[in-house]
Amino acid sequence: MVRHSHKTSESWRTLPWKKFRKNLFRLQVRLFKAVKAGDKRKARSLQKLILKSQAARFLAIRQVTQLNTGKKTAGIDGKKSLNYEERFALEGMLAKYVHDWQHSKLREIPIPKKDGTFRILKVPTMADRAWQCFVKYALEPAHEVTFHARSYGFRPGRCAHDAQKYLFTNLNSSSNGIEKRVIELDIEKCFDRISHTTIMNNLIAPKGLKIGIFRCLKAGTHPEFPEQGTPQGGVVSPLLANIALNGIESIHRHHSAKGQRITLNTSPRHVVEPSVRYADDMVIILRPEDNAQEILERINQFLEERGMNVSEKKTKITATIDGFDFLGWNFKVQKNGKFRCVPSANNFKAFRKKVKTIVNCPNHGSKVKAQKLAPIVRGWRNYHRFCKMDGSRNSLYHIETRAFKVFNKEAKNDKYSSKKLLDKAFPAVPYSENDFINVKGNKTPFDGDLPYWSERNSKLYDGHTSKALKRQNHSCGICGTKMISEDTVHLHHIDGNHQNWKTKNCIAVHRECHQYHHMS
């Protein structure tokens, strides 16, 4: 490994990141507005400007090497990280070869699924990930104009909680949810079967960039299906999947005569049935008079034109009173008409398995176990904080009791120490059932409405972080830039004492600003 000097480390840290963010965001807002106005020539010109932008190149490299959750997963070249010299060298490569980028092969990692089969995660190299992130900056604002309001997966400013709240709104007692049915739609091998032709025909991009995306698609294809598939694991793959599936939410209901050819109309103004999509997972809410099979036929026709089809095995038509699973939750309308959402059985089972593995591990002491448990428990509780979380299962009573016994045994019956470790291992998260506020219509961070997005971002946090954001007018306490939906917020303790929760000692900062502060 090439040793890097303090100078290169310092050079990276002192790059004008605040200026980079502002420059890129300004171009993306202009691109969004150009596409919305129908000015294709101006849109392509702005996309080319983004692809020439040094700010975009450095931000893409920082994203994949420093911020992304999978940043330490190696590609086929075995590189798990890039030192500072390699990052600067990669910036030069992106500048030179952005329109002639040659993708390396992908590293395949089998991920077991609950039905016993495997999903193949295809991991690009660090350099390929940086290129994909770079070009995504030029593609995403353009396609945000075209995406459906109820498509929530892998889009800026949207999350799974938007889908959860939408289902609550349409299935609660005031919406007469007790009389409704839903189609739990499953697309068979979606990422492996998406037609390359569909993606390329719908891609809003200059010709040079389209060639690069085509090469990116070909790098991850299955030998048996060379014209299909987008690699799961690529930075740009979820965006490409959304491009291919866009329109499925608004297939309108048209009762054709028997034997008449069914036609599709995917214009948003023809939306009749409420539907919600998160990437390739979709739920369609039916009215009592709806013909579910007829709707499924139209959806299947839509998918067939894009190289995919409905999974007959996993797609179900379910009464809301019987309940259904979606995005790790179980949704059900009770006999009294009230809506109920709790963590699904499979979601809880997977979470419990992780916790048990850590608690029962003989190679670690209680302190290490508590450190490992805390982020897992906090993450699970945060994800489910808008659910109904009463009862011994969801309150984690039995799991905490088991952990306390293990901690107490290891601490030789020191109950005071064991209780302190238990509190650290199982941090409390405030619950507010169904209190999440849906994103407004077709709003997107690229519309330039910073007050809306910065205030909305603040509402995603609670406790000391939320209070700090309000005090700071939704701006970072280090760089001063407004917090928007894509920013992860950290709480920084000025004196370094994480037990000091005084108002003057806690400021809300960008995750990356927090990292750089502690590097200095």
Show the DSSP H helices in 319-477 as ranges.
345-359, 366-383, 391-394, 397-410, 415-425, 450-459, 463-471
- Residue 25: its H or E element: helix 17-36
DSSP string, 187-244: BTTHHHH-BHHHHHHH--S-HHHHHHHHHHHHTT-BTTBTTB---TT-SSHHHHHHHH
Q: Give me 337's structure tokens.
A: 């008409």
Backbone angles phi, psi at 282, to 5 degrees: -145, 145
Do β-strands 489-493 and 181-186 pair in parallel, antiparallel, or remain unpaired? unpaired
Q: What is the pLDDT of residue 252?
A: 56
Categorize the per-residue pLDDT at 268 as very low, low, confident or very high, splitting at 50, 70 and 90. very low
User: CB–CB of 490/511 below 8 Å?
Assistant: yes
Residues 60-68 have a mean pLDDT of 88
**Nearest-CA neighbor of 425 among 446, 438, 406, 440?**
406
Q: Give me 75's structure tokens.
A: 């590609």
pLDDT at 287 over 50: yes
Task: Say how far apart CA 5 and CA 363 lie, in whole Å.
Answer: 37
Residues 370-379 have a mean pLDDT of 92
Residues 267-284 have a mean pLDDT of 71
**Mean pLDDT, all residues of the chain:** 86
pLDDT at 50 over 60: yes
| Comparison of pLDDT for 28 and 106, the residue scoring more | 28
Q: Give me 177's structure tokens.
A: 């949810």
Task: Say how far apart CA 211 and CA 33 lie, in whole Å.
Answer: 25
Q: What is the pLDDT of residue 226?
A: 64
Task: Say how far apart CA 470 and CA 485 lie, in whole Å.
Answer: 15
Q: What is the pLDDT of residue 3?
A: 46
Q: How far is CA 5 from CA 63, 252, 447, in A?
A: 22, 61, 41
Task: Say how far apart CA 491 and CA 469 lie, in whole Å.
Answer: 9
Q: What is the pLDDT of residue 188?
A: 87
Q: Report the largest interatomic distance among the alpha carbons of the chain, rounded to a whole angstrom.
A: 77
Residues 214-224 have a mean pLDDT of 78
pTM over 0.85: yes
Burial 294-319 (b: 16+ CB within 10 A, else e): ebbebbbebbeebbbbbeeeebeebe
Residues 419-425 have a mean pLDDT of 90
Per the rule left: phi > 0, alpha: psi between -120 and 50, beta: everything else, 473 is: left
Q: What is the pLDDT of residue 266?
A: 40
Contacts of range 390-398, beta carbons closer than 8 Å, 24 or more positions apart:
393/348, 394/342, 394/343, 394/348, 396/426
Q: What is the pLDDT of residue 7?
A: 57
Instruction: Label each residue of 352-395 as H, E or C.
Output: HHHHHHHHCCCCCCHHHHHHHHHHHHHHHHHHCCCCCCCHHHHC
**Nearest-CA neighbor of 340 among 390, 275, 378, 276?**
390
Which amino acid, one-letter code, is at 205? Answer: A
Residues 53-61 have a mean pLDDT of 96
Q: What is the pLDDT of residue 446?
A: 94
Q: What is the pLDDT of residue 261?
A: 37
Q: What is the pLDDT of residue 269?
A: 36
Categorize the per-residue pLDDT at 223 as very low, low, confident or very high, splitting at 50, 70 and 90. low
Query: Of 34-48, 250-264, 348-362, 505-519, which range is least confident?
Result: 250-264
Q: Give me 492's structure tokens.
A: 């920084």
Categorize the per-residue pLDDT at 55 as very low, low, confident or very high, splitting at 50, 70 and 90. very high
CA angle 374, 378, 384 (to 5 degrees): 155
pLDDT at 259 over 60: no
| Comparison of pLDDT for 190 and 253, the residue scoring more | 190
Burial of 120 per CB tally in 10 Å (0-12, 13-18, 19+): middle
DSSP three-state, residue 493: strand
Categorize the per-residue pLDDT at 139 as very low, low, confident or very high, splitting at 50, 70 and 90. very high
Percent of the chain residues past pLDDT 90, beyond the cut: 52
Task: Say how far apart CA 347 and CA 324 lie, in whole Å.
Answer: 13
Residues 491-508 have a mean pLDDT of 84
Residues 19-43 have a mean pLDDT of 95
pLDDT at 60 over 90: yes
Q: What is the pLDDT of residue 71?
A: 63
Model confidence pLDDT, tens digit, residues 92-106: 999 999 999 988 888
